[in-house]
Amino acid sequence: MSVLPGTEVEFTIEKEDWNIIELDDGTIIKMRTILTKIIRDPHAKPPPNVPPGVKGAGFTTTFHNIAVVHKANPGNMGKPTPLPVQKQDAESVEVGFTEYSSPFNVYVLKIDDLPKPFKLKVKLVVSNVIKYVDLYDQFGYPMYNVNSTNAVVPTPPKKRRKRKG
């Protein structure tokens, strides 16, 4: 028997895109967050941008974040590290980064009693990047750990304004 804090919500993907950051060492990392589950909490107070009278518009979400080295500075490449890799025992250093692309992903929720189309916008937010010293993937790219979170913004449809005249 499973116990959910609410009701699972069906959704469709309107837009999922890659985030791109460049590390201070010249490496380009592409990341994507993928929404895997939405649970609607019937007791949650709705966010401020939800129209009055709509109850239970609070959500719990789960994601799968993917980060891959897209391109590395040739001077940072190395011999692939034999498997299995023990990252917790490896020396590591924090690496600075610059964001080049940080788009919102957009998901359309299928909920009968909410305004149509009710959407969730999700943005992957990178907090820091750790580089593992002398650890390299199967292609010889340096190994990194990207720490991130997901900002979730419910976005009910905009009200249409009546034209005068």
Interval 22-79: pLDDT, tens? 999 999 999 999 999 988 877 666 655 555 555 555 778 889 999 999 999 899 999 9
Q: Is 135 a member of any domain? A: yes
Q: Is 13 a member of any domain? A: yes
DSSP 118-164: PEEEEEEEEEEEEEEEEEE-TTSPEEEEEEEEEEEEEEPPPPPPPPP
Q: Is 70 a member of any domain? A: yes
Phi, psi of 76, rounded to the nearest 5 degrees:
-95, -5
Domain containing 44 equals 7-155
Q: Is 69 a member of any domain? A: yes
pTM above 0.75, yes or no: yes
Q: Is 160 a member of any domain? A: no
Q: Is 128 a member of any domain? A: yes
pLDDT of residue 8: 87
How many domains in the chain?
1
Q: Is 79 a member of any domain? A: yes
Q: Is 165 a member of any domain? A: no
Distance CA 49, CA 55 (A): 12
Mind listing the pLDDT tens digit for each residue in 81-113? 988 877 778 899 999 999 999 999 999 988 877
pLDDT of residue 23: 96
User: Has residue 153 got a pLDDT over 60?
Assistant: yes
User: Has residue 165 got a pLDDT over 60?
Assistant: no
pLDDT of residue 154: 80
The residue that leads in pLDDT, 105 or 115, is 105
